[in-house]
Amino acid sequence: MQQVTGGVTAPAGFQAAGIHCGVKAGAQTEKDLAMILSAQECSAAATYTMNRVKAAPIYVTMEHLENGSAWGVIVNSGNANACAPMGQENAKAMCEYAAEATGRDASDFVVASTGVIGQTLNIAAIKKGMPALAQALSPDGADAAASAIMTTDTVKKECAVTCDIGGKTVTIGAMAKGSGMIHPNMGTMLCFVTTDCAIMPDVLTEALHEVVPRTFNRVTVDGDTSTNDMCVVLANGMAGNEQIEWKDDKYSAFTAALCAVCEALARAIAADGEGASHLLTCCVHHARSEESAERLAMSVIGSPLVKSAMFGADANWGRVLCAMGYSKAPFRPEFVDVKFCSAAGEIPVCTMGTGLEFDEDAAKRILSEREIIIDINLNEGGQAAVCWGCDLTYDYVKINGDYRT
């Protein structure tokens, strides 16, 4: 497996585009409408938000993917089309306009929206922009598409890898958005993965369901889970590999590559959490089960007090233990070791549940790096889990204090 440049158009047979159509009120440079289109029919799989309040495009996409296939994706930013008047009609209309502009069927499209909740989608702007969007489709369009799905994101999120499957080079590309409202149970963001791998739809679904819980569902920015989130994979088979039909070695190779792509994007989303100044990685190891390791790591990475301490470069490990304590996962506090690590070194701060004397200046130096690892040894077993998040900063409050204006 090898990381390569590019995003959703890295695999063979995919084109993409992103333009400004007017859903976002801002300048022409603020892209707000993106399309991905394959040259051949794709096997398709998706995971969706667990929020009981689901945006209209989620339901439309679920319907369109019932047959396990799709040709493309149409997505807007600037408006979530959630709890909004005419939600279903407008989500369906987006697919119809995309179909007209590309000569496909409405049901060939995955549809997604991201942005403010509860306001009517400006479907007229989308209709008007659609021909230009289709016109702009290009094998070099990945960057434009990745830009067009950003909301409060500060950087585009793209990734691509290649891997060998049965002697053929298969490419997986992806783009994602999401900075606030990132929390487990479904990636709780938008992620579109493309690949030229030949793989059956149900096997693709299996792979995605193996990968998402270990990547996107292990990211938390603020504990809120959005109404709109989905992760979709389209596989057009144009790499020419023998089709993956069951859980053999080829399946394992594909799943490992898919996991690498999703992990890279999950980390990028955590690092770009709203207002974030630090990427936090919490690794809980020597646990009796992966499940409790994950629960403990998510509780630590989600604690506002831990997040605030990391913003202040304060080695306040007591808050780490406290967050473990209310996670409801079983563990023995009196066995726990805690270390803070970064590119500047590592510092043990707690052993067997009790504080260690440590050099505050050294701790400050370690916690001043951009990437911080909170390393927790439960000294209980052989399982582990890694979760990602970010610190809580003034800017988070600022960004979210008046998002709609």
CB atoms within 10 A of CB 206: 17
Phi (first) and psi of residue 37, to 5 degrees: -140, 135
Nearer to a second copy, 109 or 396 (CB): 396
Give the nearest distance from C-beta 386 to a second copy in angstroms.
Answer: 22
Sign for the pseudo-dihedral over CA of 74, 79, 82, 88? negative
Q: Determine contact, residues 326/296, Cβ cutoff 8 Å.
A: no
Measured N-to-C along each axis, helices 201-211 and 249-271 cross at an angle, to the nearest 10 degrees, of 50
* List 104, 319, 341, 386, residue binding a second copy (CB under 8 A): 319
Question: DSSP string of 322-363?
Answer: HHHHTS-----GGG-EEEEEETTEEEEEEETTEE----HHHH
Give the one residue of 1, 305, 362, 384 binding a second copy; rule: CB under 8 A: 305
| Strand ranges of the sheet holding 345-351, from the earlier edge strand across to the other edge | 219-220, 383-390, 279-287, 371-377, 337-342, 345-351, 354-355
Applying CB under 8 A, among 303, 366, 387, 389 the residue interacting with a second copy is 303
Residue 298: exposure state from Cβ atoms within 10 A (0-12, 13-18, ≥19): buried
Buried b (16+ CB within 10 A) or exposed e, 229-251: bbbbbbbbbbbebeebeeeeebb
Total of residues contacting a second copy (CB under 8 A): 66
Closest approach of Cβ 88 to a second copy, in Å?
Answer: 12
- Identify which range of 21-29, 256-264, 303-311, 377-385 contacts a second copy by CB under 8 A: 303-311
Question: Distance between CA atoms of 174 and 190, rounded to whole angstroms?
Answer: 10
Residue 326 as a binder of a second copy (CB under 8 A): the answer is yes
Buried b (16+ CB within 10 A) or exposed e, 171-183: bbbbbbbbbbbbb
Task: Please measure the distance between the N-terminal and C-terminal CA atoms of the chain and give it in whole angstroms.
Answer: 44
Q: Compute the least distance from the CB of residue 149 to a second copy, in Å.
A: 19
Residue 188 known to be catalytic: yes
Give the active site residue among 47, 162, 188, 255.
Answer: 188
Residue from the set 71, 331, 340, 388 that interacts with a second copy by CB under 8 A: 331
CA 113 to chain centre: 15
Least distance to a second copy from the beta carbon of 351, Å?
Answer: 11
Q: Which two tokens stand for residue 249?
A: 């070695």
Q: Is 254 one of the binding residues for a second copy (CB under 8 A)?
A: no
Cα 108 to chain centroid, rounded: 23
The answer to the question of residue 295 lying near a second copy (CB under 8 A) is no
Q: Establish if 350 lies at the interface with a second copy (CB under 8 A).
A: yes
Q: Which is nearer to a second copy, 103 or 404 (CB)?
A: 404
Q: Does 226 bind a second copy (CB under 8 A)?
A: yes
Contacts to a second copy from residues 41-100, by CB under 8 A = 50-54, 80, 82-85
Q: Binding of a second copy at residue 353 (CB under 8 A)?
A: yes
**CA separation for the pair 163, 142 (Å, rounded):** 20
Considering the complex, what minimum distance in angstroms separates the CB of residue 50 from a second copy?
7
- Residue 195 contacts a second copy per CB under 8 A: no
Gap between the Cα atoms of 15 and 18, Å rounded: 11
Whichever of 118 and 131 has its CB closer to a second copy, that residue is 118
Nearest-approach distance from CB 120 to a second copy, in angstroms? 8
Contact with a second copy (CB under 8 A) among 14, 192, 254, 311? 311
Per CB under 8 A, does 285 bind a second copy? no
Chain contacts with a second copy (rule: CB under 8 A): 50-54, 80, 82-85, 116-120, 180-181, 183, 185, 222-227, 302-305, 308-309, 311-312, 314, 316-319, 321-328, 330-331, 333, 350, 353-355, 392-394, 396-405
Catalytic positions, written as ranges: 188
